[in-house]
Structure 1
Amino acid sequence: MTSTADALQQRLSELESHLEQENPVLLSAVQSFRVLDRVAYRMGLMAPNQSFATQIPWWPLISILGTFSAGKSTFINYYLGHKLQRSGNQAVDDRFTVIVYSPEDISHTLPGVALDSDPRFPFFRMSHAIEEVAGGEGSRIDTYLQLKTCNSERLRGKIIIDSPGFDADAQRTGVLRITDHMIDLSDLVLVFFDARHPEPGAMRDTLKHLVSDTIKRADAGKFLYILNQLDSAAGEDNPEDVVAAWLRSIGEAGLTAGRFYTIYCPEVAIHIPDEHRRKRFEKKRDEDLNDIYRRMEHVEVERAYRIIAALRKSATEFTRDSVPLLQETMRRWRRRTLTTEAVLLIGAVAGFMTWSLQANHWQGMTYRAEWLELVKSIPWGLMGLEGALLVLAILIHFAIRHLAALSLMPWLRKQVAKIDPPGNVVAAFKNNTRFWRPMILGRPFGWGRKTRTELDEVLQSCESYIQTLNERFTNPNRLPKN
């Protein structure tokens, strides 16, 4: 445990060294994550070899989603200036490909375990998540993920994730789990559709997952919807009808706002004989490609806001969900323990009184007095009768509190599954119910005024970080006043 905890602190120190020059605001964010970690350590909500800072990717992430043969790989190859991804009219890759920068001219392809075992990448321990939703599939991580390197300047400081072709009707559970995970972590998501499919309405399930399930998100602005390979419609009498059909289908899926892009790759474009139409297509294509590239190049800005939002979310949910759930579980535990003890005590007193009355009635006072003398004459050792009874009462107390804690575990695990609070609330509850932890405290170990102050300072620092980012990227002081 100590070695892994030391390794974690070393990783955080390396991250701080990297951010010291690149982004001082994010350097401060790492330090705020450390404060949050210390609170979780004290309360037993997190092991020393864990950190909130390692639960989010610090590299800017761009995800590429889309339907089969929508031209995702061709788009990536054109953007990078390298023929890295295989492309074709049919599905050519059924794995998620994480593409990272490398100074070497030769590209390398590494198996999924390289991602699953390296905490620097966004799919660290993804095999465990796949195993949870698809038993037996976690051991086949190499069939889900792969890592590729590419010597492209456009990859410096960012990661691109290419997904397999999407068909919601036939998706494996593990693929959907990775897709959702990838969407959650990404700073920018490009969703591709194929203009060559004339009936987008038939893809209702795909549109639901790629559109309906995303527009309700708080970060819906990071999704760009792209109708690719529009050059295939240049031969139509009215190519605008193709775009209109897709817009209607996406609108029916719920997307009524936001930018919808229409592009095609110049390197593999179909020749358009009509010069006027060709120039019109090229002009629209270039405008949309430039807008998409601009968003991709500015993904570091998205990353900075995303990390601060993750810090604020962790601190907020820690205060709002983790601590109250732990407090409520401990209250239930104390109440259940004391109630059980009270019932047993009342039962013991009632039983003794009943026995005494019966003994008095049947045998008279002489028999009762003789019985008491007999009990007192038993060689209880140095403790005496009172000491033995005290030890017995203590043993019964600890047995009751242990059983009360065990009886609350199903309820606690159900609550954890429902609200998914930060930290390990189950482990913290177990630590708080150890036999050496007194029940009289009435609050979780490590929780107090100092802890509340630290969490408040983390939340306040998030506001300061956002203001600093706004001044850096937007400079609101220079905005025109009404």
Structure 2
Amino acid sequence: GTALDVDPRYPFYQISRRIEQLQKGEGERINAYLELKTLNSDRLKGRLFIDAPNIGATAPHPVATLLTKHTIENSDLVLVFTDVFESASPMLDELVQLMTAQQDTNKFIYLIDEPLATLSPAKTNEIIASWQRKLGALGLNTGQFIIVANQQNSLNPNNKVDFSEIDQRLANIAYDRSYRVLDSLEKSIRNIEAVVIPEVKKGITLWKERTNISTLIILSFIATLSIFAEIQFGILELLIDPIIGPIILLVLTSIMVPVHIMISRLQAKLIITKLSARQNELHLMENLPALFEKNITIARMLLPISEPAGWNKKMHARVAQLTDKTKDLVQSLNDSFGTYDELPETPAPAAAPVAQKAKPQTSYLDLSKL
């Protein structure tokens, strides 16, 4: 589990932080939830398979549910055994909602376990149609259905399951992953401007409102005392005196500025706690409290600045530029699947052969352009 948590090449990188946010103290027990094994198989070399527990056979657990959802969200191909839909459970309902939101023609394969002896072309089509209707009623309308014949009780060694369809899907994962990576990248870029920055702005606005209200309450208390002092002692003449009045105002300002700063810091701690809970609620990897803490400066405490620190026109233009680059990468990926070199309509005149180095054609995505 620790190997998966600290290696950025794996999809469970820093997953212990999310587990810790979900349940206090469970992030340190990452080895109790994840285990890494190796398979000595040339056929499966270079691939990462995640074996999730049977959600119908195990009691629902918050961490297990989180890991299962995280697996579905980050997997290029999800193999789902259809028997999981035969028993209802609260966790199954949550996963069906997640799978509905993650629906992709190339992402889900539903494996149907049937005895080999009962299979025939007509029977196979009937079974697949039945499961399509059943899952369609749950809102799952995309995905491929493959019947995997039950081999546990088969004594005939010649009756072997044909995994060619699954092998073909595994071979196409690299192409599907490229589009999925770009889609995830574009969503992450959009979330910066659509989710992260607005949440920090709300925190800053609430922080300043609470601080200003607290400061006004203290000033109101001082004003009330001044009214009673005027009634009892008549201090109005001192306040309007050209020499003593400014001195009193300067003393009051020198007292209120530190008080205002102290109130700002106290209110900031409350906002940080609120943003931390909001981050857990939205399941964001970005650290909202850390982004808010960058705004806790003396200048921002005293001046009416509501924009988050570092968020300016230059940064806004940079985010827009990254969005445009992701679109260019999609076009580049589309172009990599076809050749647009046209042959000449008339043969070229005879000439001495000249060696020309062919341009390499790649079908992978070069993310270094970002």
Band of TM-score, shorter chain: 0.7 to 0.9
- Once residues 116 and 337 of structure 1 are traced to their aligned partners in structure 2, the CA distance between those partners, rounded to angstroms, is 40
State how far apart, in whole Å, the 2-side matches of 1:387 and 1:173 are: 57
> Which of 74, 83, 87 pairs up with 1:203?
87
Quick one: structure 1 residues 399 and 134, their matched pair in 2 at CA, closer, same or farther if it must change by over 3 Å? closer
| Aligned counterparts of 1:345 and 1:224: Cα–Cα separation in 2 | 67
Taking a change above 3 Å as real, the CA distance of residues 207 and 300 of structure 1, as seen in their structure-2 partners, is same
**C-alpha spacing 1:144/1:126, structure 2 compared with 1 (3 Å):** same
Structure 1 residues 370, 296: closer, same or farther in 2, change over 3 A?
closer
Shift in CA distance, 209/350, structure 1 to aligned 2, threshold 3 Å: closer
Asked if 1:455 corresponds to 2:319, the answer is yes
Match of 1:337 in 2: 211
1:263 matched to 2:124? The reply is no
Report the Cα distance in structure 2 between the residues aligned to 1:443 and 1:395, rounded to whole angstroms. 23
Report the more deviating stretch, 176-185 or 337-346. 337-346
Which whole-Å CA distance do the structure 1 matches of 2:219 and 2:95 have between them?
61
**C-alpha distance 234-302 of structure 1, shift in aligned 2 (>3 A):** closer
Which position in structure 2 is the counterpart of 1:115? 4
Range that drifts further, 263-272 or 118-127: 263-272
Q: Secondary structure at the match of 1:441?
A: coil
What 5-or-longer segments of structure 2 have no aligned partner? Answer: 343-370
Counterpart for residue 69 of structure 2? 180
More deviation, 252-261/394-403: 252-261
Preserved CA contact (<8 Å) 1:412 1:426 = yes
Structure 2 matches for 1:425-464, cutoff 5 A?
425-435=288-298, 437=300, 439-464=303-328
Say which SS state the counterpart of residue 279 (structure 2) adopts: helix
Change in CA separation of 1:207 and 1:308 when aligned onto 2, cut-off 3 Å: same
**Local SS of the residue matching 1:433:** coil
Residue in structure 1 matching 2:232, options 341, 346, 358: 358
Q: Write the distance in 1 (CA, Å) between the matches of 2:264 and 2:228.
A: 28
Q: How many residue pairs are counted as aligned between the two chains?
A: 337
Query: CA separation in 1, counterparts of 2:299 and 2:238?
Result: 41
Q: Is 1:125 the counterpart of 2:14 in the alignment?
A: yes
Q: Distance in 1 between matches of 2:171 and 2:49?
A: 12
Residue among 271, 294, 301 paired with 2:175:
301
Q: Deviations over 1:34-83 (max 9, x none)?
A: xxxxxxxxxxxxxxxxxxxxxxxxxxxxxxxxxxxxxxxxxxxxxxxxxx
Name the amino acid aligned to 2:322: V
Q: Partner of 1:398 in structure 2?
A: 261
- The superposition leaves residues 323-361 of structure 1 with CA deviations (integer Å, 9 ceiling, x where unpaired) of 12212222232333334334433442343133213324x
RMSD between aligned alpha carbons?
Answer: 4.1
Q: How does 1:17-166 map to 2 (within 5 A)?
A: 112-133=1-22, 137-166=26-55
Q: 1:450 & 1:222 partners in 2: Cα distance?
A: 38
- Matched residues in 2 for 1:180 and 1:126: separation? 12
The residue aligned with 1:89 is none
Deviations 1:133-155 (A, max 9, x none): 45555444334322222343433
CA distance in 2 between counterparts of 1:344 and 1:328 reads 25
2:108 and 2:144 in contact (8 A); partners too: no
Could you list the runs of 5+ residues in structure 1 that have no partner in the other structure? 1-111, 195-199, 377-383
Question: How far did residue 291 of structure 1 move?
Answer: 2.6
TM-score by length of 2: 0.74
Residues 475 and 213 of structure 1, relative CA distance in 2, 3 Å threshold: farther
Shift in Å at residue 125 of structure 1? 3.5
Q: Whole-Å Cα distance in 1 between the matches of residues 101 and 80 of structure 2?
A: 16
Structure (1 or 2) with the greater helix fraction? 1
Q: Which moved more, 1:307-316 or 1:450-459?
A: 307-316
Q: Is the 8 A contact 1:168 1:209 kept in 2?
A: no
How far does the alpha carbon of each residue in 1:250-274 deviate from its partner, in whole angstroms, 9 at most, with x for none? 344443444211133889855499x
CA pair 246-353 structure 1, distance change in 2 beyond 3 A: closer
Greater relative contact order, per chain length (Cα 8 Å cut-off, separation 6+): 1
SS at match of 2:110: strand
CA contact (8 A) 1:233 1:242 kept: no
Match of 1:170 in 2: 59
What does the per-residue CA deviation read over 1:261-300, in whole Å, with 9 as the maximum and x for residues that have no partner?
Answer: 1133889855499xxxx8xxx8xx64xx323211111111
User: Are 2:360 and 1:466 equivalent residues in the alignment?
Assistant: no
The separation in 2 between residues aligned to 1:475 and 1:163, in whole angstroms, is: 41
C-alpha distance 477-169 of structure 1, shift in aligned 2 (>3 A): farther
